[in-house]
């Protein structure tokens, strides 16, 4: 069955373009771009915590992207830097902390984050844009607080991204 295109009755809808100009009807301004946040959530702890946030019908920004990972220690320092180059504004690596089911993974992860922070400083990036935290399976408040804190940081300060500097060069 063919859908019919709805038509405005006389006096309804915005009308022809000349009426829009004549009466000063102005479309709403474009919303400013929300910062993009990447969450690396461990399968054992943080991802169930993110799922719990959904079950409680809590909200967080739509510009937040969650990737389920076995452990964030699988990502090299270069991974984080490439994310920033490709337009990610902030990264939160959510792990199980010392309770990680993989032997030595948390220690490797902490060392990599430290090295990534040093590389970020060398490149003029704010190291606060990369945060490591431990989130449990039912930690909805802690999960939301981390996302909200990162969003406040990113919206509250104008940061210069690697891509912006590359375009200017």
pLDDT tens-digit map of 61-79 = 889 999 998 888 888 999 9
pTM of the model: 0.71
CATH number belonging to the domain at 37-168, selected among 3.40.50, 3.40.1710, 1.20.1280, 2.60.40: 3.40.50
Whether 107 shows a pLDDT value over 80: the answer reads yes
Between 26 and 47, the more confident residue is 47
Nearest to residue 94, comparing CAs of 133, 141, 44, 45?
A: 133
What tokens appear for 89 in the block? Answer: 């504004």
- In angstroms, rounded to a whole number, what is the distance separating the alpha carbons of residues 68 and 62? 17
Are β-strands 37-42 and 130-134 bridged in parallel, bridged antiparallel, or unpaired? unpaired
Where would I find the H helices in the chain?
A: 17-22, 46-55, 77-85, 105-122, 140-156, 162-168
């Amino acid at each position: 069955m063919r859908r019919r295109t709805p038509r405005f009755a006389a006096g309804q809808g915005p009308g022809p373009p000349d009426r829009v100009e004549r009466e000063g009807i102005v479309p709403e301004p474009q919303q400013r771009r929300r910062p993009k946040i990447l969450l690396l959530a461990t399968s054992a702890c943080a991802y169930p915590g993110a799922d719990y946030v959904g079950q409680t019908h809590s909200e967080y920004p739509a510009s937040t992207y969650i990737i389920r990972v076995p452990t964030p220690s699988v990502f090299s320092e270069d991974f984080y830097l490439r994310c920033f180059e490709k337009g990610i504004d902030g990264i939160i690596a959510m792990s199980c902390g010392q309770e990680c089911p993989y032997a030595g993974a948390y220690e490797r992860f902490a060392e990599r984050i430290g090295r990534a922070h040093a590389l970020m400083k060398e490149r003029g990036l704010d190291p606060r844009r990369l945060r490591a935290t431990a989130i449990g399976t039912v930690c909805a408040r802690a999960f939301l607080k981390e996302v909200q804190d990162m969003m406040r940081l990113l919206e509250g300060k104008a940061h210069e991204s690697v891509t912006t500097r590359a375009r200017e060069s």
